[in-house]
Chain A
Amino acid sequence: MADQMADQAASQQTAVYVYEAPVRIWHWVNAFAIIALCVTGYFIGSPLSSVSGEASDHYVMGYMRFVHFAAAYIFIIGFVFRAYWAIVGNSHSREIYLPRIFSKDFWDELWHEIKWYSFLVDEPKKYTGHNPLAILAMHLMFVWGSIFMIISGLALYGEGAGMGSWQYQFFSSWLIPLMGQSQDVHTYHHLVMWLLIIFAIIHIYVAVREDIMSRQSIISSMISGWRLFKDNRPSND
């Protein structure tokens, strides 16, 4: 209720500070890490054409895997940090972790958002944070997808690091039998990459579209942190 009032008040203003600097930095670091992970991951699964000459003169797969693991650790540390920030940061920092699914408004707004995307209503509502549809997609596809990639990635990493490694003990040892065998872990790790790619496609498309068509700033918000509104009318009218 209080939240709603605050939102209502905010919608009257033209600018609100939404994304704190750590979130913004994280967002872009994370975006680049994921792109690196997808590219290298894809080529781990389907390597480039062979190079000729002495094996000792090349390290193509080695570098591919090195970049993957380096990006993976950046991604993991970022994710852990972002989760920490969800606790200490402002209310917007929690949105995608704990979607307000117990609030009726959330579902009403979600319905409205669906209608907006189906061209059934002429105007979206105003949101200081993410719109509910975005929250749901981010929570289900991004948050859980990332958790899965981290766990399964570490489990795969533990296989190479060996049974004595912490990665093996904490991840490989239970995840592999749970999923069947090592090959299944690879398969699902690979499959969920596509889930993240699909999320990214939708996400970027929607970001650009909303930037143009919604009633607030979008892309620049993730750069400056400030949400600017394009009109002074209340959210609902």
Chain B
Amino acid sequence: METFYDVMRRQGITRRSFLKYCSLTAAALGLGPSFAPKIAHAMETKERIPVLWLHGLECTCCSESFIRSAHPLAKDVVLSMLSLDYDDTIMAAAGHEAEAIIEEIVTKYKGKYLLAVEGNPPLNEDGMYCIIGGKPFTDQLTYASQHAKAIISWGSCASWGCVQAARPNPTRATPVHKVPGIGNKPIIKVPGCPPIAEVMTAVVTYILTFERFPELDRQGRPKMFYSQRIHDKCYRRPHFDAGQFVEKWDDEGAKKGYCLYKMGCKGPTTYNACSTVRWNGGLSFPIQAGHGCIGCSEDGFWDKGGFYDRLTDIHQFGIEANADEIGVGAATVVGAAAAAHAAVSAVKQARTKGDND
């Protein structure tokens, strides 16, 4: 990878002014002039990949999840693996000094930095439901996306829209890949509300270690973590196959760890690594602690009806009911109509017969 020095040279900056930059940097940091050559040396040799981690409309729980990573530790990712140059949640700089960083990275590392996005931008009200530096977040996002090497969409917000995009999506919150003007870059979706910490750090370290992007499925998710459903690897699966279900919270079946299908578990329709990687250092995952999966890594999981219903609601055509309710309703109407029709037919048949006789 090109070093910082290479980049500066390429932009026509002389060695003299490069060294001057280094001593200024040292001075700005309150370090003695003895630091300048060391900084220069470091800049000429190795580089950590710069990362801009932007935040739109979100709840920051993707960041919270990230710092729960046990292997690697979040500390090691941030100090040794990449250079987290912009992340409003933890960065020291604020205001103009913070905003200046984005511009600096975008110009100095054209095509070389990663853009990580947590949350998503609202499009209604000219984007002013999410303001940064007095301007809509969409400005910051589209600007930073233009020259990124790739975009990582953290969590269900960036990947799909998540809770703020749930009906009626008052702000028109829009997932990253659907934002008008977003740079035409590879987008790696890491959905989940939030994603599993170790999945997040694994995606980052994969890119750094193998110097390539993970293989993605059709929808842009790394196959290594999102190719199977919770249900496919759920340890309660034998109870599912046996037909042993929790019928009521805290019943005998619940105590024995029966399958949560009838309590609305969305494991059969949810692609995520919870039942294998598990959460918080492999300790547990929602189903293990007795609650069904709510499908938090799936597109639009908020709008599929109640979390405790196995059959989900249909909202199209002004209907709000599940398939069986609609089906039984329609079949009853048709059945009744057929019966009525049969009755009329019988009467008519009898009359015709009578006429003929």
Contact = CB atoms under 8 A, between A and B. Distances in A.
Is there direct touching of A and B in the complex, by C-beta distance under 8 Å?
yes
Interface of A: 42, 45-52, 55-62, 64, 117, 119, 122, 159-160, 162-163, 173-174, 177, 180-184, 186-188, 190-191, 193-194, 197-198, 201-202, 205, 209, 212-213
Interface string B148-172: 0000000000000000000000000
Contact of A59 (B229, B242, B266, B298): B242
A21 B300 CA distance: 49
A173 B261 CA distance: 24
Contacts of B261: 47
A29 B27 CA distance: 86
Contacts of A187: 304, 311-312, 314, 322-323
A55 B217 CA distance: 34
Contacts of B185: none
B312 A186 contact: yes
A181 B304 CA distance: 10
B243 interface: yes
Interface in B250-290: 253, 258, 261-262, 266, 268-271
B323 A183 contact: no
B331 A201 contact: yes
B330 interface: yes
Interface of B: 217-219, 223, 227-229, 232, 238-245, 247, 253, 258, 261-262, 266, 268-271, 295, 298-301, 304, 310-312, 314, 322-324, 326-328, 330-331, 334-335, 338, 341-342, 344-345, 348-349, 352
A212 B295 CA distance: 53
Query: A interface, by DSSP: helix, strand, loop or mixed?
Result: helix
Query: B interface, by DSSP: helix, strand, loop or mixed?
Result: helix
A49 B253 CA distance: 11
Contacts of A186: 268-269, 312
A99 B240 CA distance: 44
Identify the interface centre among B245, B247, B269, B300: most chain A CB within 10 Å of its CB.
B269
A72 to B, nearest CB: 17
Contacts of A61: 240-243
A149 to B, nearest CB: 13
Contact of A194 (B242, B331, B338, B341): B331
Contact of B330 (A55, A180, A190, A198): A198
B217 A191 contact: no
Contact of B310 (A46, A58, A173, A201): A46
A45 B300 contact: no
B241 A62 contact: yes
Contact of B247 (A50, A119, A198): A50
13 contacts: A46-B311, A55-B238, A55-B244, A57-B242, A58-B244, A59-B242, A61-B240, A162-B227, A181-B295, A186-B312, A198-B327, A201-B335, A205-B342
